[in-house]
Amino acid sequence: MLRLLDAHRHAIDTCVFCPKLCRFACPVAEAAARETVTPWGLMTRIDDVHVGRAPLDGAAGDLWAHCTGCHRCQAVCKHDNDVPQVLYAARAAAAAAGHAPAALGAWAHSAPPPRPAFDALPEGGPVRLVPGYVDDDTVRAAVRLLEAAGHGPLGRPVGGAGVSGIRLLEAGHPDAFDVAARRLADGVEGARLVVCLDPADALALRRDLPARGRTVGPPVQHLTEAVAGRLAALTPVLEGDVLYLDACRLGRGLGVYDAPRRTLEAVITGRVVEAVMHHAEGGCCGAGAGLAATQPALAAQVGREAVADVPDLPVVVASGVCAGHLRVATAGRAVHGWATLVARALGRPGQEDEG
């Protein structure tokens, strides 16, 4: 199964012979303070295994789990090396050989949380909702926002698929990802618009699935894009300033930075404050690519460091998954999901919880 790495030989060589110039950019390496989990360290172990200097064993599988897929390393790389994609191929080799961490596989195959608001939507329709792994509060908020923005009627993908399967690809199960993502693509055919609540699903449908030979017919947007500039009469619901954290898949992945910020400005009385590193160079919450499942303490530290620049402000992030992770990682600090916060600003009752 090491042939899975053959297509990445140039990227591996480029990283191995680089003097760790992206080391500072890796949130996992910074939090762990270990050279072996820097992008250079991870790629060096991949190289060692690929050429036979090191075995493909459990130690390699465990090491390759040290990545959130945030692509911050690629954002500063002069060669634009896509290290996470190489790591996903290495994870696939480890999984095929039976050496992947059990927690990573369990995370990839886990079912989303119960979401009665999604289940209540009819199948089909001109606008189809893909909730991913967000909770029911976020789904209910999204439905309100999309209706207020004039999108509808809303429905589920035909067949009821609510996830893209991107976790499977990230955990090293590309064939299973193909099945799940193609099922979702089939389920949204004929729609006018597909709206994803998790940026990872939008990225999977816009980038990862087409890269594997299957395009998605209708346009795919994240919720922040779908409602941008379409919400009238928003009422501020949060006093003072907030720290806005760019979700990795939304920002570096989809290139969506300004739309969520502009909407957020209308629902707070203060300013949207940035961390020292923001936009394309922004931090990472620590929840991505299974790190929170395999290394929960390290993932929590990554999240704390992402918001440490401005410790006295509440945090807003436009990913329900990131928001949930940051609430645990920064226990006691106010963390708001963008969707539920903005939905409260519509001025209609029925959305009390933060998601």
Q: What is the pLDDT of residues 240-280, one digit of tens each?
A: 999 999 999 999 999 999 999 999 999 999 999 999 989 99
pLDDT tens-digit readout, 73-130: 999 999 999 999 999 999 999 999 999 999 999 999 999 999 999 999 999 999 999 9
What is the predicted pLDDT for the residue at 1? 58
- Measured CA to CA, the distance from residue 242 to residue 9 in angstroms comes to 43
What whole-number distance in Å separates Cα of residue 355 and Cα of residue 342?
11
The mean predicted confidence, pLDDT, of the chain is 94
| Percent of the residues in the chain that have a pLDDT greater than 90, as a whole number | 91
Cα 252–Cα 60–Cα 163 angle in degrees, nearest 5: 45
At 64, list the tokens. Answer: 């390759």
Report yes or no on whether pTM surpasses 0.85: yes
Residue type, 106: A
- pLDDT average, residue stretch 202-225: 97
pLDDT of residue 160 exceeding 90: no
β-bridge partners, 268: 238
Strand residues in 199-284 grouped as ranges (E) = 220-222, 242-245, 272-273
Reply yes or no on whether the pLDDT at 354 is more than 50.
no
**CATH node for 116-227:** 3.40.50
280-312 pLDDT, tens per residue? 999 999 999 999 999 999 999 999 999 999 999
Q: Strand, helix or coil at 95?
A: helix
| Predicted pLDDT of residue 163 | 96
Per domain, the residue ranges of the chain are 2-100, 116-227, 242-344
Closest among 13, 96, 100, 9 to 63, alpha carbons compared: 100
Residue 142 pLDDT > 80: yes
Cα–Cα distance measured from residue 256 to residue 75, given in angstroms and rounded to the nearest whole number: 15
What pLDDT shows up at residue 348? Answer: 55
Look at residue 353 and tell me whether its pLDDT is greater than 80.
Answer: no
Contact of 125 with 189, CB cutoff 8 Å: no
Phi, psi of 115 (to 5 degrees): -140, 80
- Read off the pLDDT band of 314 (50, 70, 90): very high
